[in-house]
Amino acid sequence: MNVLIVDDEALICRSLMRAFESRGHTVRTASDGIQGLATWREWPPDVALVDVLMPGLTGPQLLEKIESANTAQIILMSAYTGDFDLKRAEELGAHLFLAKPFANIFEVVERAEKLVKNKAHEG
């Protein structure tokens, strides 16, 4: 599947990319919201992992912009657990919320795969 990772923390982008690639997926990364939006439009992913707080365009702002034509499963990620939860994320159009730090990066990959698989079943 095609995976888009939008996060301003380079190491997170890289590690997620490696983890997804190690399971045979195709990955593109973006280091801020604006770049993320551009990639999304040009290369619609099956699943997008989007950080909440980013310079330029925040995660929620990015979701607002792509929502209409979207077919991807969306995972919002944040280090600010206090003011965020699944309910908020769903209101913004996301399908899953992940709090940072991740206990295990492979688990993130598994959960993304599951989302896409479930969607395929439904669709």
* Contact residues for other proteins, defined by CB under 8 A: 9-12, 14-16, 18-19, 22, 79-82, 100-102, 104-106
Question: Cα 50–56–27 angle (5° rounding)?
Answer: 35
Which helix (H) or strand (E) is 19 found in, with range?
Answer: helix 10-22
Nearest to other proteins of 54, 92 (CB atom): 54
Nearest to other proteins of 10, 38 (CB atom): 10
In the complex, the smallest distance separating the C-beta of residue 44 from other proteins, rounded to whole angstroms, is 26
Kindly give, in sequence order, each residue whose CB lies less than 8 Å from that of residue 56, ignoring residues fewer than 6 positions away.
Answer: 32, 33, 34, 35
In the complex, the smallest distance separating the C-beta of residue 98 from other proteins, rounded to whole angstroms, is 10
